[in-house]
Amino acid sequence: MKIRLGNNRGIALIASYIIIAVLLIVSAAFSARSIGEQRVANKEKDSVQAFWLAEAGLDRAINELPDTPLSGTLGRGAYSTQTSVATSVRFLITSSGGVPGLDTTDPNNIVRTITALVEQPVNAASAGDITSAITASGDVVVRGSAEVNGDIDDNDVFDFEDVFGVSKEVMKNNASNLYTDPPNNVTPVDSITWSDLVADDEMIIADSYWEGSGILVINGDLRLTGGYFRGIIWVIGTLWVSGNPVIDGTIFVESGAEFETTLTGNPTVNYDGDAISDAFNYSPSDLPPFIVNWKED
């Protein structure tokens, strides 16, 4: 029998090409599948990171209530938050996390958003517990035409935290106005105002047209000879009142038993429960806020 080697070689070559082609097709299919699976895995990883970023933004927004808006970056992504007031003690926080960015119109970004209703517990202290026009750790001396409409509790023992339900540090950290050695007749004095006297001997309010409200804490001495104040004045030092100022609310003086609180001239101090209650609306709480409910948008 004669064997035609040339034909066999041709068949073998064709078969080799077919095998190579099949291998290339299979390899390409596996490669495409692998690339697709990798893309899916990367998107899933980015989605998880975006959610974590949204949670990080929510945690920061809760810790910094009621500040808004807030934003930041972490790792390969970013977050942003918006906080709105739902009620006097509840806040609605929307937090978005994105990898690598937050632009939802960019198909390369994975963005996830969560919304949470957060409650800030109210202060446990009560304005109704304050029943006197003036409370002082030393003697209170009323002279001349000075008028006090309400009880005077002198030589009394009292505590800042018992009255306000928070420490002085918490009150200072939540002050709307924070002054150090303020000028005479400083403004604004509203909501919570904290004044530290370092170089100056005393804080002076003398202008008849000066007005203040809320909670005013003076870490030092206060000389009050004019103006009008509505709310709670707390003096961590001595107090001298003269001239013709008017105070609606209450005054606390923790100068010490050895110091006198003096009212002389024509000042008027009126115990005013409504003014005290209004001032208490600004008093912060040191209880941590908590999430009432949340959802992913």
pLDDT digits (tens, 9 = 90+) for 118-176: 998 877 789 999 999 999 999 999 999 999 999 999 999 999 999 999 899 989 998 99
pLDDT digits (tens, 9 = 90+) for 35-71: 656 676 678 889 999 999 999 999 999 999 889 999 9
Read off the pLDDT band of 87 (50, 70, 90).
Answer: confident
Q: For the sheet with 140-142, list strands across it.
A: 140-142, 261-263, 239-241, 221-224, 202-205
Q: What is the rounded average pLDDT for all residues in the chain?
A: 90
Phi, psi dihedral angles at 84 (to 5 degrees): -125, 155
| pLDDT tens readout for residues 101-123 | 999 999 999 999 999 999 988 77
Question: CA of 2: how far to CAs of 7, 114, 247, in Å?
Answer: 12, 82, 128
The residue among 192 and 281 whose pLDDT is bigger is 192
Length of the chain (residues): 297
Give the global pTM: 0.67
pLDDT at 20 over 90: no
Domains and CATH numbers, the chain: 10-120 (3.30.1300), 127-280 (no CATH)
